[in-house]
Amino acid sequence: MATLQFGKTSIDYVIHRVSSKDGIVISVDWTSGVRVVAPDHLEEERIEAVLKKKAPWILRKLAEMRQIKPLTTRHEFISGEKFPYLGRQYRLRVNVEDGVNEVSLTFQNGRFVAAIPSTSSPAWRENQLRLAFRDWYMTHGLTKVQQRVELFAPRLGVQPSKVVVKDQKTRWGSCTKSGTISVNWRVLMAPMRIVDYVVVHELAHILRGDHSPAFWSIVASVMPDYAERKEWLRIHGPTLEL
């Protein structure tokens, strides 16, 4: 973590050195904050100069995120509460049962149904239900993501070596050099068109590992409105939490 002093304001940022990169790319994300990708041969002074030039834009984006973040509400995991899946809201029914030693979560008749031990504490129940929901999204979301990969991969002329849904703290998705596509389970809370955007984004990385104009042209070739979907994720991403 490095810090840039801009007037009376300190801007923390993370820098990633990439040998194959020619220019500097600055991104502001609600999970990872300010991220700078720069060539490994570029001097620190040059990077700071670019950051200072972009500081007003960076501060504006950080201010926007501070306004969005309060929208995130922590779930209580009680009966009647709603949970999103692919953009639709489904209610939770919690059954307190004797003789049950652990939490279980299923989806039945259009609602989530949880069974919890009658002897458990409220704090324990909340923690275990949060983990149960995360696991449910990861398990059931994988099938949906694989279906979308099968739809879009042929359109891009690519074939990933593997598709996974996992817990990623700072990314909505990723693509390894070996062609493994990963999608953050939180994306499964968003509407399907946003899931599709993340899938296409990562599939495009099989062809281009950067975020150059050429990369975005690849994304646009199968998703002309990708910018609108990308903006939705930037704005509403903070609400995709348990």
60 and 106, same domain (yes or no): no
Neighbours of 242 (CB within 10 A): 17
Domain boundary among 39, 71, 103: 71
Residue 76 domain-assigned (yes or no):
no
Asked whether 152 and 196 are in contact (CB, 8 A), the reply is yes
Judged by DSSP in three states, 3 sits in strand
Residue in this structure with the two tokens 């939180």, named with its chain if needed? 186
Residue 77 domain-assigned (yes or no):
no
Domain boundary among 71, 98, 126: 71
Look up the CATH number of the domain holding residue 216. 3.30.2010.10
Asked whether 152 and 169 are in contact (CB, 8 A), the reply is no
Q: What is the pLDDT of residues 51-97, one digit of tens each?
A: 999 999 999 888 877 665 544 567 899 999 999 999 999 999 999 99
Residue in this structure with the two tokens 């609400």, named with its chain if needed? 239
Residues of the domain holding 232:
82-239
Q: What would the mean pLDDT of 35-51 be, rounded to a whole number?
A: 89
17 and 51, same domain (yes or no): yes
- Beta-ladder partners of 92: 112
- Confidence tier at 168 by pLDDT (50, 70, 90): confident
Q: What is the pLDDT of residues 194-224, one digit of tens each?
A: 999 999 999 999 999 888 889 999 999 999 9
Asked whether 63 and 53 are in contact (CB, 8 A), the reply is no
How many domains does the chain divide into?
2
128 and 231, same domain (yes or no): yes
